[in-house]
Amino acid sequence: MFKNIAPRRFLFSIILIFGFIGLTLYNLSDADRLFADIQQQLSDGLGWLIILLANGFVVFVIYLTLSKHKKIILGGPDAKPEFSNVNWIAMLFSAGLGVGLLFYGVAEPVLHYSSNVIHQEGASFSDKANLSMNLAYLHWGFHGWAIYGIVGLCFAYFTYNKKLPFRVSSFFSGTFTQNIWGRVSLDVIAIIATIFGIATSLGLGANQINSGLGYMQLLEESFITTVGIVVVITLMGLISVVLGLKVGIKRLSQLNMILCAILLSIIFLGGPTSYILDGLVQNLGSYLQNLLSLSTNTNGYLDSSWQNGWTLYYYSWWFAWSPFVGLFIARISYGRSIQEFLIGAVLIPSSIVFLWMGVMGNAALYQEFIEPTSLSTAINNDITVSLFVFLENFPFPQILMGLAIVIILTFFVTSSDSGALVTSMLTASKKENTKDEPPMILRIIWAISLGVIAIVLLAGGGIGALQTSVIVTGVPFAILVSFAAKSLLKSLNE
């Protein structure tokens, strides 16, 4: 049963992860303060590096998409895609965003709008709303998907073209990786970043479902309810991951896209349609025009607390999720050219994000314009209810809220089963056929572990603990990925 498991990678990861959990449980009262202190130190000391690296990946994607390497087929000249374009995009979108887009799609633009830190004194509603949407686009657009795209390309190229295993250590050559423990160390960093990145998303989703059910007066809001939600969805994710990639994950991803399209269409047609369209055009044009200044702002001469809590948190989250999403995208991208891969993994998802944020964000800002402070007050008091307070202003709000909860559930399950699948691949022994499913026992262990870790982080410090776990794991992996990009370019040139 355990013969196909890589023992060093599996045991080392388990020991470190559950060692962290044990320390958190041992002293829950101080965990929140400790997490906040760690986040502050990393953000203040290395914030400039994270922003520099995120921008570097956007430039690298543009270069590779237009370079002489763009026609290289992942898997060799005769390789054919395993999935259709629609299924491919649905799966990478569902895995790459998870519940985050549902959690922040309404809340973030309104929180930015109501913040006094980022706006000039006396700014008009139009200026504040436009800047708020620009920042939401910055946090969810090209930069994050460029990180995913490059990490995914590293996995795909070194696995399919260089015949190396699905591991981060496959990206590198040299003295360090010639030693077994050197390779194991690199892989364990990726595994831990993956686990805590996914656990953060699961925790956010559980909080939002709890708040939604409480807002609809279907369940009492409590930590016990949140734990129950995590347990139920973990079991659903476990069933999906046991069914495998072509049955469980693919079908759930298709369902995600359909349900999201239905909800977005209702908001677009049932809300201020002309206002949303005006905002979409203006927001996208302004974002592209100001992309350089927005993406290189470090708040170097001002209080950096807003920057630490938003831009650096997001970029760290993208880096923490990159081994998970990157490997998953690589696994489903066999037979595609480098150019096709990067367009599909960066440009198309970014465009979907701009559409989603543009519709949901502008509809939320319109509510704030019609009834000043009504929505922003509710969101500032409790961010987890933002989507449900927003939907209450549409016809048949209970139905829309129910639909939203179902979408969050499907995203939740997709993140759980995709994460378990990827982590299983990272801790499985090397196989000749890289498209084989990893051992069942590994998928089960990691699916359960993700739920346990999400519960412990929520107990230790709520959303603050989740955010800090992302930054703590995302920062070291960001540095590691920059060297991986250099190794990829060197290998392509050779």
Question: CA-CA distances (angstroms) from residue 433 to 191, 263, 310, 429?
Answer: 21, 40, 41, 11
Distance CA 241, CA 414 (A): 9
Distance CA 372, CA 377 (A): 9
Q: How far apart are the first and last CA of the chain?
A: 40
pLDDT for the residue 419: 76
Going residue by residue through the chain, which has 494 residues, state the pLDDT in tens, using 9 for 90 and above. 556 777 888 888 888 887 877 776 676 667 667 766 776 777 777 788 889 999 999 999 999 999 999 999 999 888 898 888 888 887 777 766 666 777 788 999 999 998 888 888 888 888 999 999 999 999 999 999 999 999 999 999 999 998 888 888 888 876 556 677 778 888 888 888 777 777 777 777 777 788 888 888 777 777 888 888 888 877 877 777 677 656 666 777 778 788 888 999 999 999 899 999 999 999 999 999 999 999 988 776 676 777 777 888 888 888 878 887 888 888 889 999 999 999 988 998 899 889 999 999 999 999 998 888 788 888 888 888 888 899 988 988 899 999 988 888 887 777 777 777 778 888 887 654 455 667 778 878 888 888 887 787 777 665 565 566 666 777 788 888 898 899 999 999 88
Q: What is the DSSP string of 154-184?
A: HHHIIIIIT---SSGGGG--SHHHHSHHHHH
Distance CA 418, CA 402 (A): 24
Question: CA-CA distances (angstroms) from residue 391 to 110, 399, 405?
Answer: 14, 10, 12
Tokens of 373: 């402070």
pLDDT for the residue 245: 59
Q: Which residue ranges make up each domain of the chain?
A: 7-23+51-493
- CA quadruple 314, 42, 206, 428: dihedral sign: positive
Model confidence pTM above 0.95:
no
pLDDT for the residue 464: 60
Specify which residues 223 forms β-bridges with: none
Reduce the DSSP state of residue 440 to 3 states and report it: helix
DSSP single-letter state for residue 384: G
Q: What is the DSSP string of 92-123?
A: HHHHHHTTHHHHHTTHHHHHHHH-SSSS-TT-
Distance CA 214, CA 226 (A): 11
Reduce the DSSP state of residue 294 to 3 states and report it: helix
Question: CA-CA distances (angstroms) from residue 135 to 40, 109, 112, 130, 286?
Answer: 21, 8, 8, 9, 11
**In sequence order, what are the residues at sequence separation of 6 or more whose Cβ sits closer than 8 angstroms to the Cβ of residue 484?**
150, 151, 154, 168, 171, 172
The CA-based dihedral angle spanning residues 200, 245, 325, 409, taken in that order and rounded to the nearest 10 degrees: -30
Q: Do the beta carbons of residue 456 and residue 25 sit within 8 Å?
A: yes
Among the four given CATH numbers 1.20.1740.10, 2.40.128.50, 3.30.750.80, 3.20.20.140, the one describing domain 7-23+51-493: 1.20.1740.10
Q: What are phi and psi of 337, to 5 degrees?
A: -75, 160
DSSP single-letter state for residue 247: I
Amino acid at 307: Q
pLDDT for the residue 190: 80
